[in-house]
Amino acid sequence: MCLSVPGKVISIENETALVDVGGTSISVGIQLLEEVSLGDYVLIHSGFALQLISEEDALAQLELVRAMKG
Amino acid sequence: MKFINDFRDRELCETLLERIHKEAVREITIMEVCGGHTMALHRFGIPALLPNTITLLSGPGCPVCVTGRGFIDHAIGLSMRDQTMVCTYGDLIRVPGSESTLEKAQADGANVRIVYSPLQCIEMAAQDPETNHVFLGIGFETTAPASAVALQKANELGLKNFFLYSAHKIMPPAMAAIIHEGVKVDAYLCPGHVSTISGTKMYEPLVDQFGVGCVVSGFEPLDLLQSILMLVQQQENKNAAVEIQYTRAVKSQGNVKAQQILNQVFEPCDAWWRGLGILANSGLKPSANYKGFDASVVYGLSTNEPADPTGCRCGDVLKGLLKPTECKLFRKTCTPANPIGACMVSAEGACQSFFRYANS
């Protein structure tokens, strides 16, 4: 019940977005998000997009760990 | 997610492990309070890779595991009523009540449907006004917003045949209760997706009152190892704090819109947790404006909790007092194919994680 699936928004209609998850399209509610655009990555849980995923933060984090290798 | 391979990169994980081994000088007990973390830690074999100074404990982080048999008994009872359908996430279908499960009730002809979103239940209720539809609201802050949106939708559509039977709970009271119970916890690996909704402010009292470190973690091996390293560093520097490792999904303020919806629709209530008993204001029930949708009110459902079966130690497992392997039923009479306790039923339960991934 804790796992969310990340997916990419491929279309938006009213309160619903079609999200691509590894090649499968899933229809999810976007009522919990202030803003969502085509191409955004979102976390999906129980039929809703919970939160946007930040590509910038993901890259920064990987960079931080790479820097530890020293 | 295109970064999945990066967050499972062997070299980067080895880098983090080296740092952990180098820096974890003092003993530290870290408790994870998220079923997803429990499963991921064991699936990726992380406990065996850590130094002896680090002890990992599983806490009350699986919503299915902490839900009482009474809730399941009532859900089965509702599913057997005339003109009534019970809709549930698949996670609950095999969880034992006192005498049966929703799966067995379904096989006996009860009207039980598995859904992946409460909105499916709303759609079915709108299409079939003659049948009462009861959605089983289970889960922490991650799933509660979905139930809240469903209640708003039911209200908007004026549905008279949709009800929520809520077992929704919130994490912080249980995290505090664990420490009050005297369980030795130096640090919490905080739940990632709960925190996407709630943010991190709610962990601050745990740091202030008990001096435990809190790091919100993602679910990939790199996430988990980096979070463990962050907690080790807090411990070594005697600087307990709330930190976010899972920065790509969690903001300190959380999802403010989701929080507003939760506050509009739900109000806090006392709730029963397996192993911890009744914790004040640790549950969520529909607020006064949504009382007409509250199955526990409409159907007059009591909150009595039948005792767990003899020998089942799920309560102690959920408090971190017992490893699943130390329960006498583990791997003998209690297996995923024939689960006695909830922690063996749930895919995120500590007992099933140990059964599937840990060496006995």
Work out the average pLDDT over B58-86.
Answer: 96
Interatomic CA distance for residues B230 and B216, integer angstroms:
10
Q: What's the confidence (pLDDT) of residue A70?
A: 64
Q: What is the largest CA-CA distance in chain B?
A: 66
**Pick from B168-177, B256-265, B304-313: least confident:** B304-313
- A16/B contact by beta carbon, under 8 A: no
The pair of structure tokens assigned to B294 is 């509250």
Average pLDDT, integer, range B67-71: 94
* pLDDT of amino acid B51: 98
pLDDT tens-digit map of B138-184: 999 999 999 999 999 999 999 999 999 999 999 999 999 999 999 99
Q: Residue B360 pLDDT > 60, yes or no? A: no
Give the mean model confidence (pLDDT) for residues B217-227. 97
Residue-wise pLDDT for B172-210, tens only, equals: 999 999 999 999 999 999 999 999 999 999 999 999 999
The residue of chain B nearest to residue A57, with distances taken between CA atoms, is B248
% of chain B at pLDDT higher than 70: 99
A45 shares contact with chain B (CB less than 8 Å): yes
CA distance B34 to chain A (A): 7
pLDDT over 90 percentage in chain B: 94
Of A6, A51, A59, nearest to B255 by CB-CB distance is A51
Q: Does A3 touch chain B (CB under 8 A)?
A: yes
Mean pLDDT computed over B332-343 = 93
Residue B318 has pLDDT above 80, yes or no: yes
Q: Does B167 touch chain A (CB under 8 A)?
A: no
User: CB A61 to CB B247 under 8 A?
Assistant: yes
DSSP string, B209-274: HH--EEEE--SSHHHHHHHHHHHHHHHHTT---EEES-TTT--TT--HHHHHHHHHHEEEEEEEET
Number of C-beta neighbours around residue A70 at 10 A: 6
Q: Give the pLDDT confidence of A5-64 residue by residue, as tens digits.
A: 889 999 999 999 999 988 899 999 999 999 999 999 999 999 999 999 988 888 888 888
Interface of B with A in 106-125 (CB under 8 A): 116-120
Name the pLDDT band for A2 (thresholds 50, 70, 90).
Answer: low
> So what's the pLDDT on residue B347?
87
**Which token pair is B228?**
């463990």
- The reported pLDDT for the residue numbered B98 is 92
- Please tell me the predicted confidence (pLDDT) of residue A4: 80
Q: What are phi and psi of B343, to 5 degrees?
A: -70, -15
Q: Which two tokens stand for residue B156?
A: 């908007």
B128 vs A21, which has greater pLDDT?
A: B128
pLDDT confidence bin for B359, thresholds 50/70/90: low
Nearest by CB: B146 against A48, A60, A62: A48
- Alpha-carbon gap, residue A41 to B69, rounded angstroms: 38
**Record: contact B35-A1, CB cut-off 8 A:** yes
Q: What is the pTM of this model?
A: 0.95
- pLDDT for B308: 84
Residue B1 has pLDDT above 60, yes or no: no
Query: Closest Cα partner for B245 from B95, B34, B11, B26?
Result: B34
User: Mapping DSSP to helix (H, G, I), strand (E, B) and coil, where does residue B338 land?
Assistant: coil
Nearest to B325 by CA among B345, B285, B354: B354
Q: Based on the number of CB atoms within 10 Å of its own CB, is B250 exposed (0-12), middle (13-18) or buried (19 or more)?
A: buried
Cβ contacts of residue B36 below 8 Å, gap of 6+?
A2, A3, B191, B192, B193, B219, B348
Please indicate whether, in this complex, the C-beta atoms of B194 and A1 are within 8 angstroms of each other. no
At residue B219, what is the residue type?
F
Contact B248 A29 (CB under 8 A): no
In chain B, positions 251-280, which contact chain A (CB-CB < 8 Å)? Answer: 255-258, 261
Residues of chain A with C-beta less than 8 angstroms from the C-beta of B219: 3
Integer Cα distance of B287 and B236 in angstroms: 45
Residue B137 Cα, gap to closest chain A Cα (Å)? 11
